[in-house]
C-alpha cells in the first residue's frame, strides 16, 4: 500500500457529475467537477454538499469542457476552493462560454422554482480567475510528489486524458510508498472523428479511471453513419419536410456543420435553408476556428485548401429569439440545428413543440440522451411528450444516427484498456449508467484478464 487513495465523489452510477479525489500522504487533488444532469440543467443532487472540504483542495485538474465535467466548479469556488485550476487552453476558452451559458440557465431555473441558484455570475468569474493553462504533452508539477501530463483524448476540442505520476513519500505508518501512475480518461473520443485527432493511448499506467457512457453498446459502423445521415436528409427534404437536429452546442454542432458543408458543396442535398439556431453553438464554433491546429491532418488540409468548413450556401446563423420563432413560418423543406442536444432547455424545445407533431418532419438524434430527458423520451418514441407543461402528440419521423457519438463504444473502450495491459493493476469503470459500467467491467475482466471494478460513490479505494 502506498498510503494513497482514490474516491469517486461523483460520476458513478451516472454518466454525469464527474468528480474524483486523489489523496496521497503529501497532498491531494481533484480531477473534474461536473454537474449532475438529467431532466433539468442542474439536478437536485447538485445542491448536495461536497463530500470533502473545498477549502482544503489545492488543485483541480480538468479533462474537458463538457458541463458534466466542469459544471460544479463555480459551486466549488463558492464553497471555499481557492486553489489552482489547470486545463488545456482550448478547455479554458470553451469553459468560459459554457459556464456563462449554464449560469444563465441555472439562474432561470432558480427564479422559476423560487430557490437560490447553486452559483451566480461572480462565482463563475472567480473560478475563471483561478484558471491556468497547460499544453498537451507538458509535464506539470502540481503538488509535492504529484505531476500531471495531458494527452489528447480526441473527444471534443481541448479534451484530455490526464496521466498523474505519484511519488507518495512516507505514509502515516512511517513506510515509504512506491511511486505509481494513474490515468483519468475523462471522456474518450470515437476515433477516427470528422474533426479531431485520434485518441492517444495510455500504456504506462498502474491505475485507470475510465468512462463507460457506451460501455454496453457498440455504435453502428462509421462507413454507414454518413450514408445513413445523407439518406435520411435527402428523403425528408425531398418530401418537403423539416429536419430537426437537436445537437450539443459543443462538438456535435461543429461536426454537423462540417458534414452539411460537405453534402451541400458536393451537391448532394436539395437547396434548402439550414438554420444554426444556437447562440452558444456559434460562440463555440468561433473557438473551434481559432484552434485549427487541434484538428486532424485531413481536416487541416481541407481548410488549407480554402474551404471554410463551418460555412456553406444556405447556412443561416440565427441570433435572437424572435428570429428563432420566425423559422416556423418558413414553408417547405429546411434543416434546423438547435441545442440542447438532449432537449434539456435551449431553443430546440420550441422547435420540438411545433415539429414533433408534424408527420412530414423528421427529428434526427445524433447523440447520447440521458434518462429522464425529453431527448430520451423522443428516442424511446413516446407517443406523448410534455414540453414546458404542454402535451405534444408525436407524429413525426424519428431517426437515430449513433455513429456520430463523440464517445468510444464498448469495443473501443475494451481496445483502449487492452493497450494499457498488462501493467494495469486496477481499472475503475465510472462515468456511465450502472448497467453500462458493470457490463464493461465484466468484459474487461473476461476478455483482458483486467482487474476492473465499478467503484461506489464516496468510498475510499486504496492505491
Q: Which residues fall within 8 angstroms of residue 127, CB to CB, at 6 or more apart?
A: 73, 74, 76, 77, 85, 99
| Cell 434518462, residue located | 371
The distance between the two most distant Cα atoms of the chain, rounded to a whole number of Å, is: 76
CA dihedral 219, 224, 226, 230 (to 10 degrees): -120
Residue 359 CB, shortest distance to Zn ion, in Å, is 35
Whichever of 212 and 242 has its CB closer to Zn ion, that residue is 212
- Determine contact, residues 8/427, Cβ cutoff 8 Å: no
Residue 161 CB, shortest distance to Zn ion, in Å, is 12
Whichever of 32 and 352 has its CB closer to Zn ion, that residue is 32
Residue 67 CB, shortest distance to Zn ion, in Å, is 9
Whichever of 187 and 206 has its CB closer to Zn ion, that residue is 187
What b/e string do you get for 218-244 counting C-beta neighbours within 10 Å, with b at 16 or more? Answer: ebeeeeebbebbbebbeebbeeebbbb
Cα dihedral sign for 267, 271, 272, 276? positive
Strands 274-277 and 180-184: unpaired
Q: Which residues fall within 8 angstroms of residue 331, CB to CB, at 6 or more apart?
A: none
- The answer to whether residue 187 forms part of the interface with Zn ion (CB under 5 A) is yes
Residue 65 CB, shortest distance to Zn ion, in Å, is 8
Whichever of 187 and 200 has its CB closer to Zn ion, that residue is 187
Q: In whole angstroms, how far apart are CA 19 and each of 67, 77, 418, 435?
A: 12, 14, 25, 20
Residue 59 CB, shortest distance to Zn ion, in Å, is 21
Whichever of 66 and 78 has its CB closer to Zn ion, that residue is 66
Site string for Zn ion, 114-153 (x = CB under 5 A): ----------------------------------------
Residue 270 CB, shortest distance to Zn ion, in Å, is 34
- Determine contact, residues 339/281, Cβ cutoff 8 Å: yes
Whichever of 261 and 406 has its CB closer to Zn ion, that residue is 406
Residue 143 CB, shortest distance to Zn ion, in Å, is 25
Site string for Zn ion, 55-84 (x = CB under 5 A): -----------x------------------
Whichever of 66 and 443 has its CB closer to Zn ion, that residue is 66
Q: Could you tell me which stretch among 185-193, 194-202, 241-249, 452-460 binds Zn ion (CB under 5 A)?
A: 185-193
The distance from CA 415 to its chain's CA centroid, rounded to whole angstroms, is: 21
Residue 64 CB, shortest distance to Zn ion, in Å, is 6
Residue 241 CB, shortest distance to Zn ion, in Å, is 31
- The answer to whether residue 252 forms part of the interface with Zn ion (CB under 5 A) is no
Q: Could you tell me which stretch among 112-120, 183-191, 212-220, 252-260 binds Zn ion (CB under 5 A)?
A: 183-191
Whichever of 98 and 448 has its CB closer to Zn ion, that residue is 98
Whichever of 187 and 399 has its CB closer to Zn ion, that residue is 187
What b/e string do you get for 186-215 counting C-beta neighbours within 10 Å, with b at 16 or more? Answer: bbbbbbebbbbbebbebeebbbbbbbbbbb
Q: Where are the alpha helices (DSSP H) in 177-296?
A: 222-238, 252-265, 279-290
Instruction: With CB under 5 A as the rule, give the number of residues binding Zn ion.
Output: 2
Q: Could you tell me which stretch among 24-32, 181-189, 259-267, 311-319 binds Zn ion (CB under 5 A)?
A: 181-189
Q: Which 394-423 positions form the footprint of Zn ion (CB under 5 A)?
A: none
Q: Could you tell me which stretch among 37-45, 180-188, 258-266, 348-356 binds Zn ion (CB under 5 A)?
A: 180-188
Alpha carbons within 13 A on the beta-carbon side of 140: 22
Q: Could you tell me which stretch among 13-21, 99-107, 179-187, 262-270 binds Zn ion (CB under 5 A)?
A: 179-187
Closest by CA to 347, choosing from 146, 101, 168, 163, is: 101
410-418 and 434-448 helices, crossing angle to 10°? 40
Residue 155 CB, shortest distance to Zn ion, in Å, is 6
Residue 159 CB, shortest distance to Zn ion, in Å, is 7
Whichever of 71 and 346 has its CB closer to Zn ion, that residue is 71
Strands 362-365 and 242-246: parallel
CB atoms within 10 A of CB 266: 9
User: CA 104, 157, 142 angle in degrees (round to 5)?
Assistant: 90
Whichever of 151 and 351 has its CB closer to Zn ion, that residue is 151
Residues lying near Zn ion in the complex (CB under 5 A) are found at 66, 187
Amino acid at each position: 500500500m502506498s498510503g494513497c487513495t482514490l474516491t469517486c465523489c461523483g460520476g458513478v452510477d451516472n454518466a454525469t457529475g464527474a468528480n474524483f479525489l486523489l489523496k496521497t500522504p503529501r497532498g491531494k487533488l481533484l480531477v473534474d467537477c461536473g454537474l449532475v444532469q438529467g431532466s433539468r440543467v442542474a439536478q437536485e443532487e447538485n445542491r448536495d454538499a461536497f463530500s470533502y472540504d473545498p477549502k482544503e483542495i489545492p488543485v483541480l485538474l480538468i479533462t474537458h469542457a463538457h458541463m458534466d465535467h466542469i459544471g460544479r466548479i463555480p459551486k466549488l469556488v463558492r464553497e471555499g476552493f481557492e486553489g489552482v485550476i489547470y486545463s488545456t487552453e482550448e478547455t479554458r476558452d470553451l469553459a468560459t462560454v459554457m459556464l456563462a451559458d449554464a449560469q444563465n440557465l441555472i439562474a432561470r431555473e432558480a427564479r422559476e422554482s423560487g430557490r437560490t441558484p447553486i452559483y451566480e455570475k461572480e462565482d463563475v468569474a472567480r473560478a475563471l480567475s483561478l484558471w491556468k493553462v497547460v499544453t498537451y504533452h507538458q509535464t506539470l508539477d502540481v503538488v509535492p510528489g504529484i505531476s500531471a501530463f495531458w494527452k489528447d483524448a480526441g473527444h471534443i476540442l481541448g479534451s484530455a486524458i490526464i496521466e498523474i505520476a505519484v511519488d507518495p513519500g512516507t505514509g502515516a505508518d512511517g513506510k515509504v510508498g512506491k511511486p505509481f501512475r494513474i490515468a483519468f480518461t475523462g471522456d474518450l473520443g470515437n476515433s477516427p472523428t470528422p474533426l479531431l485527432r485520434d485518441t492517444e493511448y495510455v500504456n504506462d499506467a498502474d491505475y485507470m479511471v475510465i468512462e463507460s457512457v457506451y460501455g454496453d453498446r457498440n455504435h453502428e459502423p462509421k462507413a454507414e453513419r454518413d450514408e445513413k445521415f445523407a439518406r435520411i436528409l435527402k428523403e425528408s427534404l425531398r418530401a418537403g419536410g423539416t429536419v430537426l437536429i437537436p445537437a450539443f452546442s459543443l462538438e456535435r454542432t461543429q461536426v454537423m456543420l462540417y458534414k452539411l458543408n460537405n453534402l451541400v458543396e458536393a451537391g448532394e442535398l436539395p437547396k434548402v435553408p439550414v438554420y444554426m439556431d444556437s447562440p452558444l453553438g456559434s460562440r463555440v464554433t468561433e473557438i473551434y476556428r481559432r484552434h485549427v491546429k487541434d484538428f486532424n491532418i485531413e481536416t487541416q488540409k481541407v481548410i488549407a485548401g480554402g474551404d471554410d468548413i463551418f460555412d456553406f450556401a444556405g447556412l443561416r446563423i440565427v441570433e435572437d429569439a424572435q428570429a428563432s420563432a420566425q423559422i416556423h413560418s418558413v414553408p417547405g423543406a429546411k434543416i434546423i440545428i438547435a441545442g440542447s442536444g438532449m432537449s434539456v432547455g435551449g431553443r430546440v424545445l420550441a422547435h420540438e413543440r411545433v415539429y414533433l407533431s408534424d408527420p412530414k418532419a423528421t427529428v434526427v438524434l445524433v447523440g447520447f440522451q440521458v434518462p429522464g430527458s425529453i431527448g430520451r423520451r423522443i428516442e424511446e418514441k413516446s407517443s406523448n411528450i410534455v414540453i414546458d407543461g404542454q402535451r405534444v402528440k408525436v407524429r413525426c419521423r424519428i431517426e437515430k444516427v449513433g455513429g456520430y457519438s463523440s464517445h468510444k463504444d464498448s469495443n473501443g473502450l475494451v481496445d483502449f484498456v487492452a493497450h494499457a495491459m498488462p501493467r494495469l493493476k486496477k481499472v475503475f469503470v465510472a462515468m456511465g449508467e450502472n448497467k453500462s459500467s458493470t457490463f464493461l467491467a465484466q468484459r474487461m475482466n473476461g476478455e483482458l484478464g483486467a482487474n476492473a471494478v465499478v467503484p461506489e460513490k464516496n468510498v475510499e479505494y486504496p492505491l
